[in-house]
């Protein structure tokens, strides 16, 4: 991946060429107060602040995970939506990448809209 040199104009930050974000990649873009992690999960781009609202942990260092729900049988569980959640490395809180919503609490990590224009990845709403 080429080194990132984001350019911000207003609330739009041009991050890099879309080819710099192959599926399965993540990069922390040095914008905003803590940086923003941009993820390509199976071709879908998502972006969240690199700051856990629980205790301020570096969210984007965390492990990608999925959603675990109760199974049909007693004491069983189902795992789905692989790599659509991130687990904070400090205390294990899990957040959905797309919305920033915590899996087990009524709290969110800030998420950002990501668009692709003229083969460039652009973050919207980063100040």
pLDDT beneath 50, residues of the chain: 1-2
Buried (b) or exposed (e) across 60-94, using 16+ Cβ within 10 A?
Answer: bebeebeeeeeeeeeeeeeeeeebbbbbbeeeebb
CATH of domain 7-124: 2.102.10.10
pLDDT number for residue 61: 93
**Per-residue pLDDT at 6:** 66
pLDDT of residue 115: 93
**pLDDT reported for residue 49:** 95
What are the residue ranges spanned by the domains of the chain?
7-124
């Amino acid at each position: 991946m080429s080194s990132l040199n984001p350019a911000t104009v207003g609330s739009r930050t041009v991050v890099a060429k879309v080819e710099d974000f192959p599926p399965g990649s993540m990069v922390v873009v040095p914008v905003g107060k803590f940086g923003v992690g941009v993820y390509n999960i199976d071709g879908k781009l998502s972006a969240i602040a690199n700051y856990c609202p629980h205790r301020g942990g570096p969210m984007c260092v965390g492990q990608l995970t999925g959603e675990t729900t109760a199974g049909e049988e007693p004491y069983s569980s189902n795992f789905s939506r692989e790599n659509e959640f991130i687990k904070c490395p400090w205390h294990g809180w899990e957040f959905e990448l797309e919305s920033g919503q915590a899996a087990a609490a009524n709290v969110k990590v800030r998420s950002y809209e990501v668009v692709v224009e003229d083969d460039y990845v652009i973050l919207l709403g980063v100040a």
